[in-house]
Amino acid sequence: MSCQSKVFRAACQGGFKEATSGLFEMPEDSLPIVQGMVDYLYTGSYDDQGLITSDEPPVSVSAAKFNARMFALADKYQIDGLRTLSASKYSKAIEEYSSLHLFFESIPEVYLTPDTARDLRDAALSFARRHLGTGLQIPGVKVAFEELRDDT
């Protein structure tokens, strides 16, 4: 793992507790997202379909939202290949499903990433430019957009 992440490498090779204990704790990261990261580190990919959160009770998460969370994790732990893959999967997810509701659901996750990590923001803006003009005429979509706007 440390060969693919600058953060893991520094923790395991430096004078940090992780180097002596052999444990790297990630309590603020959800288990399904961490599992996706581990899958990527060992196989070069991860599954973003039909995912459930580790919340109680478990909740389904859209592929767009999952990939946005995966991107944030990749950025946090500096795993460049995972960052690239998750950005690509995010773009594919919002284009494939063309659901404005799922798109809106992913936006808060997209904007939790640092301002310098533009990959998801650029994909979201591109999608919005192409689909929001006509999409806001669909019943329920305008309400979802206004709820998102009011929450941010």
Counted domains in the chain: 1
95, part of any domain: yes
Tokens 């973003």 belong to which residue? 48
Domain containing 75: what range? 27-151
Average pLDDT over residues 98-104: 78
Q: Please name every residue paired with 51 in a beta bridge, in sequence order, or none if there are none.
A: 61
Average pLDDT over residues 37-63: 81
Confidence of residue 71 (pLDDT cuts 50, 70, 90): very high
10, part of any domain: no
Confidence of residue 2 (pLDDT cuts 50, 70, 90): very low
13, part of any domain: no
| pLDDT above 50: residue 45 | yes
Confidence of residue 43 (pLDDT cuts 50, 70, 90): very high
Contacts 24+ apart (CB under 8 A), 107-111: 107/148, 107/152, 108/148, 108/151, 108/152, 109/65, 109/68, 109/69, 109/72, 110/68, 111/152
Enumerate the H helices of the chain as residue ranges. Answer: 6-13, 17-21, 31-43, 63-76, 80-97, 100-110, 119-135, 141-151
pLDDT tens digits, one per residue of 114-151: 888 899 999 998 888 887 776 666 666 666 666 656 66
pTM of the model: 0.75
18, part of any domain: no
135, part of any domain: yes
1, part of any domain: no
Alpha-carbon distance of 91 to 64, in angstroms, equals 8
132, part of any domain: yes
19, part of any domain: no
